Amino acid sequence: MTAEPRSVNSRAWERYGSHRLRAGTTARPIPDTIAWGFGSAGPGTAVLGPLTGRRVLELGCGTGRYAAHLACHHHAHVTGVESSPAQYERAVAAYGAVPNLTLVRADAVDYLQQAGPFDVIISVHGALCFTPPALLLPGVFQALRPGGLLAASVLHTNYLGEGPLQVVAPSPQRLQVTGHAPDTVYRWVLTPDLWRQLLAEHGLIVTAIDRIDATAENDPTSCRLIRATHGRRDQR
Ligand SMILES: C[S@@+](CC[C@H](N)C(=O)[O-])C[C@H]1O[C@@H](n2cnc3c(N)ncnc32)[C@H](O)[C@@H]1O
């Protein structure tokens, strides 16, 4: 069950990135904040605390826009990890020259085994929700310094209003690609209680879960921004 969603996701994100590359990658401005929701920023970058000089890792950085934001506007030392070659190519083309930003093409599960320690790890609808938690979370614990912060946005209800699962399993979700038929990706869309439990099992203590609803009228899409701190090993 776990291998199949990962390969479906890899192929879908590669198709997505390739479509976008063919459409022409244009250098875009670095965003002013992190939008944790869909069509809604939520609490922005402030939730990450002071970032100057901090080591920050983004898991599944896509085009690298938020990694570039943290390096450029907050003077953090940022690494963005992206598994799709096409998405990575887009990131390098757009933000490869940003000081204090390192872009790495790797699967987050593999990268976390040999990286760190980081003060902050973020996932903005990134690897955390597209990867089996049992594979990813041990690496997050290992790569985060004690007391360090994990901040991850995840889907809670999709555009149809379909809600989170109470079991640890991926669900198929639509991936919209402009000018093409929608693709399918597997996301872990779980209840906040289940995320809290899963993270605690991996030494990550949830401190806050923010609700971020879509702002468009009649759009039931809702996200959650989960913040957790790296606990000591004897708290696991
Ligand atoms: C929805 S995009 C988000 C990109 C970026 N965080 C943003 O908000 O602009 C998800 C990205 O995560 C990447 N991804 C998914 N699973 C990953 C994994 N296990 N390791 C590295 N990247 C991953 C995908 O290839 C895709 O580019």
Q: Which CATH number goes with the domain that contains 211? A: 3.40.50.150
62 Cα to the center of ligand 1, angstroms: 5
Establish whether residue 12 lines the binding site of ligand 1, counting it when its CB lies within 6 angstroms of any ligand atom: no
pLDDT band at 27 (very low <50, low <70, confident <90, very high): low
Q: How many CA atoms lie within 13 A of 32 on its CB side?
A: 1
Q: pLDDT digits over 178-194, tens only?
A: 888 899 999 999 999 99
Nearest to 39 by CA among 111, 125, 101, 103: 125
Q: Which domain holds residue 29?
A: 3-235
Establish whether residue 152 lines the binding site of ligand 1, counting it when its CB lies within 6 angstroms of any ligand atom: no
pLDDT at 94: 94
Establish whether residue 189 lines the binding site of ligand 1, counting it when its CB lies within 6 angstroms of any ligand atom: no
Q: Which of 56, 84, 140 to mutate to test the pocket of ligand 1 (most atoms within 8 A of CB)?
A: 84
Strand 204-213 versus strand 222-230 pairing type? antiparallel
Q: pLDDT digits over 76-135, tens only?
A: 999 999 999 999 999 999 999 999 999 999 999 999 999 989 999 999 999 999 999 999
**Beta-ladder partners of 100:** none
Establish whether residue 6 lines the binding site of ligand 1, counting it when its CB lies within 6 angstroms of any ligand atom: no
Structure token pair of residue 214: 């879509």
Distance from C-alpha of 56 to C-alpha of 6, rounded to nearest angstrom: 25
pLDDT band at 26 (very low <50, low <70, confident <90, very high): low
Establish whether residue 83 lines the binding site of ligand 1, counting it when its CB lies within 6 angstroms of any ligand atom: yes
What letter would DSSP give residue 98? Answer: -
Q: Is the pLDDT of residue 233 over 90?
A: no
Strand 183-187 versus strand 171-175 pairing type? antiparallel
Establish whether residue 108 lines the binding site of ligand 1, counting it when its CB lies within 6 angstroms of any ligand atom: yes
pLDDT band at 159 (very low <50, low <70, confident <90, very high): very high
Q: How many domains does the chain have?
A: 1
Q: Is the pLDDT of residue 75 over 50?
A: yes
